[in-house]
């Protein structure tokens, strides 16, 4: 326990004195400079990044939230070291009213620079290089109304009583809204946290509770153990009335799940998963988890899925709580993956942290990738490998736009930093890591990771630190003779074994290869032309839209894999030039590149290459893997987007889907076809749209008819069932609608007590919500505590109504946050925007409430991006484009420059071009195929 410091400066004062001083402070700080400040003095620093010559070593924090007045007071005493003489200490502070500050025993003047979210403490005499000091700051603030900083969350008990709690969300730049700090990831320090609370509440922080001191009859103070060295964004504390359950992992870590008392019976699954996963990571990384405990807390109001605060991971309730009787298979998969993601961060992100947010992917791409590695081994029944692919396709959709960005991108201000939390950092990051693992082999890849984590523990890293760790690894595995050269590169012998990859003498320069994937945006299109035994290859930057010919300078090092009609052993070839040739041992009927879609690139088979593959799918689709079939479906539609292939050929390929039964190719087929008629819906093109819908339903009709209305089967089968039944019922496929109506009426008759199979509920609710009475009944259940596990399903179902007043009500309620929590508003807007009766309402709602949305969810956040792109991504007329451009250009500069707005505009332009090119061909094809 740390000895008392000059920190406790106001603690000894009588209570009335404290309030006088704090009261004075609020007034002083709000008129400009903070107490003792001088609003006329120039602020001594003008950069977004803090100076590097003052470095924090240890924070002593005392935080006292008042859940009644929804305010808090704080004292931050920060031990720091000075490496160059200076007269000012610059730190971050956001919406904090500084009451009083000192450097050592001397009171300091306080200046505030709101635009940069900084305060300066001016010393009476210069601080000398090589000396340590303690700065102490007393401050007050309001609990935030957003989902960032130290914020207020509420829930209702079964009896309807509203309860308030306070929780933190600091990543990326919001620790400064809870205490003054050096809020950049490279300023790692130790933290000793004390929290004052009412005796009826419970406080949690990153470290275990050491002792509790009674201040008076209505107030206690919890002292938490000192943390390991970490970044400010990982600090966390919660004051609540949560209950918990606990277990000890096999490595001796105390793991607990916390939630509101009435949901504690939904915590068991998460606890068991966390124990398994934490044990797995300790073994996999060969590095012990460094804290004595790991808490997982479900917060009633939470913007993202979850947050990796060290030792106290926080989650949205739906991302942690699981009811074996009521939750769906997809919910179990999602919860397991999110826990796996946050626990992976305890090593990738917490133990080893990126130096700056430009390399956020080192945290997020890894955690996303490790979800699949860990869950695959700890929960094999979930078959996670089935879903990795669709993630990569989603990332490629964004990455194909000119407005995409490299995985590693320079960023400065908080809005730009928030924008990094997107599919490129998370999903593309994980897809290129998967490609690298496939390229290096599992053992070499894992050895490189372990070396990276061991070398940089408690430090900060850049991209190249990872590649350097990967380059010097040459474990000898099995019969694979690897030799370490004097230059530190691996060279492999081609003849040594079946899994040896690369030609003799070829250097595996991981850094040179991976820089092509992380330092330039987008991904390659590889065009394959077969002439006899010669396979001619050409690579180019795949890009949609009007600027697609402007990026000629792009070149990737592509680890190509392929199989042929004559050889199903995976062949490998590293392509590092614009064009190349592979010579096959014999002529083949077909060749399929990017086996299992392990590579982050797409392939075009020129001449009759596609015809041979389409024929293969027609004759014998199981000759290639599920993933290979899904990737062919994806690739051919991406080629239609850039006019390399006519839409008729892509539609010819989909005909084989009548015989497809596997989840990945079926869902990929839907993912390509459904958006086409969604474009038509927003143009009111009834006839073609109707024909296309009928074609899609017809394709999957046999598979839909085979679906059981139960929870039987594997996780993949159950997830496929959920998707297919919802699809069929929403498209008004009569056998599905009849069955769902029958279920809904029985369920309604039982007043919601009848137990419906979890995986068919969404379809049943969606059909039930089509009548006004059914919609009202569903809403009444939504408001009941016993249906908390079904909330997201009911929200989706309610959004399918054609009644515009009801859709408007959903939007307004989501913003109000009483019946529908505001955390769910981005989804609600998205659902309403997808509804042909609601897309104009959603656009009007976005325009009228833009300021409120930004205030709640923060400029640059993924939530804002989801709303902007979700509302506009199926617009395809010049009038819609003009409206979108006009509204966003009318906003202040910071909003107008958001990447998601560029993406939205580009997507609409792309849609217009797509419809101009393909609409008539679709009509002709549908007529020709008598569908």
- Does the structure show a pLDDT above 70 at 453? yes
Residue 313, class by beta-carbon neighbours within 10 Å (0-12 exposed, 13-18 middle, 19+ buried)? buried
In Å, how far are 245, 256, 274, 670, 789 from 264, measured between CA atoms?
Answer: 8, 11, 16, 38, 13
pLDDT in tens, 166-191: 999 999 999 999 999 999 999 999 99
Tokens (6 digits) for 18: 């404290």
Distance of CA 424 to CAs 91, 303, 308, 334, 428, Å?
Answer: 31, 19, 19, 20, 5
Edge-first strand order for the sheet with 523-531 is 579-583, 534-542, 523-531, 602-605
Look at residue 369 in the predicted model and tell me its pLDDT.
96
User: CA-CA distances (angstroms) from residue 344 to 462, 654, 682?
Assistant: 18, 38, 42
Question: What are the tens digits of pLDDT across the range 862-875?
Answer: 999 999 999 999 99
pLDDT of residue 385: 85
Q: CATH number of the domain at 243-473+513-521, please?
A: 1.10.390.10
Mean pLDDT of 430-438: 95
In angstroms, rounded to a whole number, what is the distance separating the alpha carbons of residues 133 and 557? 50
C-alpha span between 790 and 786 (Å, rounded) = 9
Domain covering 49-241, topology: Immunoglobulin-like (2.60.40)
Distances (CA, A) of 614 to 408, 597, 799: 38, 17, 38
Instruction: Give the C-alpha separation, 154 to 257, whole Å.
Output: 19
Confidence (pLDDT) at 428: 96
pLDDT for 508 = 77
Q: How does DSSP classify residue 611?
A: H
Residue 4 has pLDDT above 70, yes or no: no
Secondary element (H or E) of residue 197? strand 190-197
Confidence bin at 474 (pLDDT 50/70/90): low
Residue 248 CB neighbours (<10 A): 11
Residue 569: other Cβ atoms inside 10 A: 8
For residue 498, the model assigns a pLDDT of: 35
Binding residues for Zn(2+): 341, 345, 364
Higher pLDDT, 472 or 42: 42
Which DSSP helix (H) or strand (E) runs through 135? Answer: strand 132-142
Mean pLDDT, all residues of the chain? 90
Show the tokens assigned to 611.
Answer: 């015809």
In this chain, the answer to whether the domains covering 243-473+513-521 and 525-627 adopt an identical fold is no
**pTM summary value:** 0.92
Q: How confident is the model at residue 390 (pLDDT cuts 50, 70, 90)?
A: confident
Query: Among 406, 399, 396, 401, which Cα is nearest to 907's?
Result: 401
Contacts of residue 552, Cβ cutoff 8 Å, sequence gap at least 6: 540, 541
DSSP state letter for 552 = T
Q: Where does 298-428 have alpha helices with state H?
A: 329-345, 361-378, 385-399, 414-419, 423
Q: How far apart are CA 511 and CA 559, in angstroms?
A: 14
Separation between Cα atoms, residue 181 and residue 33, nearest integer Å: 18
pLDDT for the residue numbered 434:
95
Full DSSP string of 443-512: HHHHHHHHHHHHHTTTEEE-HHHHHHHHHT----BTTB-EEE-TTS-EEE-TTS-TT--S-TT----HHH
Return the pLDDT at 387: 84
Per-residue pLDDT tens over the stretch 724-749: 999 999 999 999 999 999 999 999 99
Is the per-residue pLDDT at 693 higher than 60?
yes
Domain boundaries, the chain: 49-241, 243-473+513-521, 525-627, 715-801
Which DSSP letter does residue 517 get?
A: H
Residues with a known catalytic role:
342
Work out whether the CA dihedral 789, 792, 796, 798 comes out positive or negative. Answer: positive
Name residues whose C-beta falls within 8 Å of residue 159's C-beta, 6 or more positions apart in sequence: none
The pLDDT, as a whole number, for residue 542 is 96
- Which pLDDT score, from 0 to 100, does residue 896 have? 85
**Residue 29 confidence class, pLDDT cut points 50, 70, 90:** very low
Pairing of strands 602-605, 523-531: parallel
Options 3.30.70.330, 3.30.429.10, 2.60.40.1910, 3.10.450.50; CATH of 525-627: 2.60.40.1910
For residue 686, list its beta bridge partners.
none
Q: Give CA separation, 833 vs 327, 796, 866, 868, in Å.
A: 26, 12, 11, 10
- What span, in angstroms and rounded, lies between the C-alpha atoms of 554 and 521? 9
Q: What are phi and psi of 80, to 5 degrees?
A: -140, 165
Q: What's the pLDDT tens digit per position in 613-650? A: 999 999 999 999 999 999 999 999 999 999 999 999 99
Find the mean pLDDT for residues 447-460: 96
Tokens standing for residue 202 = 């419970």
Per-residue pLDDT reduced to its tens digit, 105-145:
999 999 999 999 999 999 999 999 999 999 999 999 999 99
**What is the number of other CB atoms lying within 10 angstroms of the CB of residue 124?**
12
Q: What is the pLDDT of residue 230?
A: 98
Give 474-478's long-range contacts (Cβ < 8 A, gap of 24+). Answer: 474/444, 475/443, 475/444, 475/447, 477/441, 477/443, 477/444
Pairing label, strands 71-82, 132-142: antiparallel
pLDDT tens digit sequence for 530-539: 999 999 999 9
Q: What angle do CA 131, 84, 35 make, to 5 degrees?
A: 75
How much is the pLDDT for 641? 95
Query: Which pair of tokens denotes residue 799?
Result: 């959004």
CA distance 357 to 353: 10
Mean pLDDT lowest among 37-46, 63-72, 397-406, 786-795: 37-46
pLDDT digits (tens, 9 = 90+) for 878-923: 999 999 999 999 998 888 889 999 999 999 999 999 999 999 999 9
Do residues 97 and 110 make contact, with C-beta atoms less than 8 angstroms apart? no
* Per-residue tokens: 596: 């299992």
* Farthest CA pair distance, the chain: 92
Residues annotated in the binding site, as ranges? 341, 345, 364
| b/e 453-488 (16+ beta carbons within 10 angstroms → b) | beebeeebbebebbbbbbbebbeebeebebeeeeee
Please give the backbone phi and psi of residue 157, each rounded to the nearest 5 degrees, phi first. Answer: -75, 175
Q: Could you check whether the bond before residue 172 is cis, i.e. omega within 30 degrees of 0?
A: yes
| Mean pLDDT confidence for 664-678 | 95
Least Cα distance to 318 among 342, 298, 333 occurs for 298
- The single-letter DSSP state of residue 799 is T
Asked whether residue 9 carries a pLDDT value surpassing 70, the answer given is no
Distance CA 4, CA 62 (A): 12
pLDDT band with cut points at 50, 70 and 90 for residue 687: confident
Q: Give percent above pLDDT 90 in the chain.
A: 86
pLDDT of residue 33: 36
Cβ atoms of 591 and 575 closer than 8 Å: no
pLDDT reading at 573 higher than 90: yes
Token output for 400: 């194909």
Please tell me the distance from the alpha carbon of residue 28 to that of residue 537, in angstroms, as a whole number.
69
Q: Does the pLDDT at position 472 exceed 90?
A: no
């Amino acid at each position: 326990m740390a000895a008392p410091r000059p920190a406790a400066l106001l603690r000894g004062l009588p209570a009335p004195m404290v309030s006088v001083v704090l009261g004075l402070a609020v007034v002083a700080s709000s008129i400009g400079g903070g107490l003792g400040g001088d609003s006329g003095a120039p602020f001594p620093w003008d950069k977004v990044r803090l100076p590097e010559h003052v470095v924090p070593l240890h924070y002593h924090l005392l935080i006292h939230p008042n859940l009644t007045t929804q305010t808090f007071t704080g004292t931050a005493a920060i031990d720091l070291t000075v490496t160059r003489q200076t007269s000012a200490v610059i730190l971050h502070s956001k919406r904090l009213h500084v009451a009083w500050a000192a450097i050592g025993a001397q009171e300091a003047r306080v200046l505030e620079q709101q635009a940069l979210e900084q305060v300066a403490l001016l010393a009476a005499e210069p601080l000398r290089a090589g000396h340590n000091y303690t700065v102490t700051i007393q401050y007050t603030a309001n609990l935030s109304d957003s989902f960032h900083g130290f914020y207020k969350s509420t829930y209702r008990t079964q009896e309807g009583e509203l309860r308030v709690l306070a929780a933190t969300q600091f990543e990326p730049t919001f620790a400064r809204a809870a205490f003054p700090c050096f809020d950049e990831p490279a300023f790692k320090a130790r933290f000793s946290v004390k929290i004052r609370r009412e005796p009826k509440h419970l406080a949690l922080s990153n470290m275990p509770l050491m002792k509790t001191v009674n201040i008076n009859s209505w107030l206690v103070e919890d002292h938490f153990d000192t943390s390991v060295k970490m970044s400010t964004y990982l600090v966390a504390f919660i004051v609540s009335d949560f209950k918990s359950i606990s277990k000890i992992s096999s490595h001796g870590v105390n793991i607990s799940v916390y939630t509101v008392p009435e949901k504690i019976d939904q915590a068991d699954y998460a606890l068991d998963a966390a124990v398994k996963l934490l044990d797995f990571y300790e073994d996999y990384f060969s590095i012990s988890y460094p804290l004595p405990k790991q808490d997982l807390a479900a917060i009633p109001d939470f913007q993202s899925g979850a947050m990796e605060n060290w030792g106290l991971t926080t989650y949205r309730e739906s991302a942690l709580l699981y009811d074996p009787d009521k939750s769906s298979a997809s919910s179990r998969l999602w919860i397991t993956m999110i826990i796996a993601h946050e626990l992976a961060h305890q090593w990738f992100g917490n133990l080893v942290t990126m130096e700056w947010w430009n390399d956020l992917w080192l945290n997020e791409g890894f955690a996303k990738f490790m979800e699949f590695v860990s869950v695959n081994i700890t929960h094999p029944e979930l078959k996670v490998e089935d879903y990795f692919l669709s993630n990569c396709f989603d990332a490629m959709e964004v990455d194909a736009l000119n407005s995409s960005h490299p995985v590693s991108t320079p960023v400065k201000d908080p809005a730009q930093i928030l924008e990094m939390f997107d599919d490129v950092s998370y999903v593309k990051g994980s897809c290129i890591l998967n490609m690298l693992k496939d390229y290096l082999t599992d053992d070499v890849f894992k050895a490189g990771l372990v070396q990276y984590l061991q070398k940089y523990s408690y430090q900060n890293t850049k991209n190249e630190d990872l590649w350097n760790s990967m380059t010097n690894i040459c474990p000898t595995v099995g019969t694979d003779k690897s030799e370490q050269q004097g230059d530190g590169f691996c060279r492999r012998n081609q003849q040594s074994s079946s899994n040896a990859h690369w030609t003799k003498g070829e250097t595996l320069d991981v850094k040179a290869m991976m820089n092509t994937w992380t330092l330039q945006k987008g991904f390659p299109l590889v065009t394959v032309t077969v002439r006899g035994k010669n396979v001619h290859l050409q690579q180019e930057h795949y890009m949609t839209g009007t600027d697609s010919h402007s990026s000629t300078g792009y070149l990737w090092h592509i680890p190509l894999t392929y199989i042929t009609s004559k050889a199903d052993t995976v062949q490998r070839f590293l392509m590092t030039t614009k064009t190349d040739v592979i010579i096959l041992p014999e002529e083949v009927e077909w060749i399929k590149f990017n086996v299992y879609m392990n590579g982050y690139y797409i392939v075009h088979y020129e001449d009759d290459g596609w015809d041979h593959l389409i024929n293969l799918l027609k004759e014998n689709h199981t000759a290639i893997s599920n993933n290979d079939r899904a990737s062919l479906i994806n690739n051919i539609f991406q080629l239609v987007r850039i006019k390399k292939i006519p839409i008729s050929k892509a539609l010819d390929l989909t005909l084989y889907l009548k015989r497809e039964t596997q989840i990945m190719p079926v869902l990929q087929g839907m993912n390509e076809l459904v958006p086409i008629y969604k474009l038509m819906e927003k143009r009111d093109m009834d006839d073609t749209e109707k024909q296309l819908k009928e074609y899609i339903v017809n394709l999957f009709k046999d598979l839909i008819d085979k679906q059981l209305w139960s929870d039987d089967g594997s996780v993949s089968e159950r997830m496929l069932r959920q998707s297919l039944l919802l699809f069929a019922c929403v498209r008004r496929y009569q056998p599905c609608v009849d069955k769902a109506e029958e279920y809904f009426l029985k369920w309604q008759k039982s007043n919601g007590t009848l137990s419906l199979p979890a995986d068919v509920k969404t379809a049943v609710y969606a059909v039930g919500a089509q009548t006004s009475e059914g919609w009202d009944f569903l809403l009444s259940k939504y408001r009941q505590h016993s249906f908390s596990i079904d909330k997201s399903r009911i929200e989706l179902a309610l959004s399918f109504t054609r009644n515009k007043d009801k859709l408007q009500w959903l939007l307004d309620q989501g913003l109000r946050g009483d019946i529908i929590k505001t955390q769910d508003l981005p989804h609600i807007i998205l659902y309403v925007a997808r509804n042909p009766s609601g897309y104009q309402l959603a656009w009007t709602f976005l325009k009228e409430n833009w300021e409120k949305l930004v205030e709640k969810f923060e400029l640059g956040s993924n939530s804002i991006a989801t709303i902007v792109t979700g509302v506009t991504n199926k617009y395809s007329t010049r009038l819609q484009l003009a409206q979108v451009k006009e509204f966003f250009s009318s906003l202040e500069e910071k909003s107008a420059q958001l990447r998601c707005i560029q993406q939205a505009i580009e997507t609409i332009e792309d849609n217009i071009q797509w419809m101009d090119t393909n609409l008539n061909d679709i009509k002709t094809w549908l007529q020709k195929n008598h569908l």
